[in-house]
Structure 1
Amino acid sequence: MVDFLAQRPGVLFVDDEENALKVFRRAFERDFEVYTALSADQGLAVLDKKAQKISVVITDQRMPQRSGIAMLSEVRRRYPEKVRLLTTAYTQVDTLVDAINEGAVYSFISKPWDLNNLRKEILSAIESYSTANEQRNLLAGRIDELKQAVLDEKIMEIGNVAVNLSHYVDNALCPIELLISKIEEDLGGHSNALAKTEDRSTYLDFLKRIRIHIRSTSSQISRLHQANTRLNPASFTHIDLNTIYDQAIEANQVLMNGKDIRIERLQGSEQCQIWGDQERLSDLFNFLIAEEVVSLPESSSAKIGISHMPEQQSVQITLEDRGPVPEDVSPSHLLYPFNVRSGDPRQMGVFLICAYFIVRSHGGSMQTTLREGGGVRFIFDLPINAPSATRIES
């Protein structure tokens, strides 16, 4: 009980008699954080404002407009975790038993009160609330762990398939680039009959853009194979995420220009250093930029923010855009390959997967949410001091 009192748990007392509220406050304000209300509607309004502080709700049964049981039934609907007590001077046993059986009321207290007994009832209710709350938190934590394990396993299985497929795509690009080189060579000859002289510059420019796209795609694919490999602790160093972000933007400028995609910088922290693998974290930004380029329509924009979170000992990377999200795809499913946003069947959706691999390998986490008004937001949390041997196990 000492712990409960030290935390000064909140108790809401509702009664239409003002004197009863005054007596309750004087009797218990040293032990609890006391809130009072003169009606059921007023009590619900107080609970809505102070829900995080209130553990127990006590109300008189006989009140105008809405009875105590009716109020506690509404409390159960809105805040099922709150412990609900009913005070009554009436011997309506059937009504009280039904209310308890239905779960609207945890217990009832006869009037006139015995303050010592009432204090014991409140403490018992607080203990019940604390125990149930602890169990809920443990269960929620376990469910989150299981969800993460299932997500890791599913992503690993499907992601490996996608990465292996990308290997064959990369192999197929090599002869295509050789063919383009041969065509460029033939077009460069003055006696060549493949095109008229006035058309050659147009064709050469077209081939040049194809070659840039192929090399960019090939470079991205080559990085896919490294995304889920084991981290080497010997490669860890202090990395400034702002610096490698700037480098990634510069390295991918041609790729972004191809679709007129703009990446804007959200206001963040000047110093965002973490301990990790520089090459892998550089690829994290490369993959995020590639994801936006393939997913967004032409002439679109996205925003990236990097912020130091000192209380969590982490750095948070936020990526948000107004790109399309299919109605049948939930935000979390965007982590699964082949759930692409662009509607382009040529894309396999592996860039986000690889970003996820890199973040998880550094002991971090990732979540996706839909933005109000359209678009999606990706949030990556990376610990400042990454564990040296963390890895998603297949």
Structure 2
Amino acid sequence: MSDTLQAPFAVLFVDDDEMSRQHFTRAVSEDYRVHIARGADEAMAVLKEHAAEIAVLVTDFRMPGRDGDDLLRQVAQDYPQIVRILVTAYADKHMLLQTVNSGDVFRILEKPLRTETVCEVLQLAMARYTERETRQQRLSAMDETLAFLAHELNTPLATISLFARAVEADVAEQYDPERQKEIAHAARSMLSNAQYCLTLISSFWATVHKSGGQQSSAGGGVREVKATRLLATLLDTYPFVASQREWVQVDVQGDFVVHAMPNCVALVLSSLLSNALRALDGTSAASLRLEVVASPEPEIRIRDNGPGIAPEIKARLLLDPVTTYAGAGGHGMGMIFCNRIMRSFGGSLRIESTLGAGTTVTMVFPASKSRARATDEKQSSGSEIASP
């Protein structure tokens, strides 16, 4: 690691010997933030306050009162995301068999601790913690996606059912021209809601199967898909109506890799495109511009020249279930869940709108972080960390 860039997470070192705590802190504080504790109870107090930033626990086995084995079990139960490392003397090995076999211990370090070995194991432990965090992030994004689908599909389908029953009841009745208009409006709303459901399903399915849904065989991580590829897939599969496709223009000012789950991003894109097309219905010289921007931060912008959104509605769109399409089955949950999906992987949504001048919705993605890190060799890499 470089002299100026520390790992984003901290290490908790637990040992009742003051000299051991001092030497450990000096050995690794250049690369990691270090919290220290003299025993199991003090360690739990530190975790209660700083668990959000602590990624790795390193604890001595033999300590007065509760030993390291007891601490490891409690941390495994209360803070399972923390990677746990046990420090022990050679004489303790036979006593540790049960701990190793039954507990989730990432590594065992033998005394006397060597700086080079400790730094190597901490790097591996941080990598393990990052993997766990990434996995949890993906699960959260998928949970948001499932919730999004449930809300987005359930309400329109319920609306279709209600309109269908209303039309069925009116078929046998005598009605004047005004009533005919109402029935025609109901029919259009049925079509709009059905089309929206089909759009979500087809876009999500196409993204999974046509954009290479398999995970990277090399790293087992999320596949890397360019923003332009997601847009192209969406536009190829979206069931545009009448001249809607002619409204759409794509402006690529700089492409970028979407490191988040592409299926979730495609779902957000599909929803935002549907909203924009619905806003443009009836607009003279309708225009919908999709912009891909790589800097100063990765963004996808959806610009339309529709009627715009009233300020009091815009201010609540990402917070409350408000909608300007209640008559067509809108329920206002779509933007909330789109925002939650974006936020689940560190992104966000930004809405700019002026009445009579259109709306721009911007999908902001977290900047790509270089995985390359400077590796400075320490002069004391082969030295030992003193221990009693």
Per the normalisation by structure 2, the TM-score is 0.49
Tell me which of the two structures has the higher relative contact order, counting C-alpha pairs closer than 8 angstroms and 6 or more residues apart.
Answer: 2
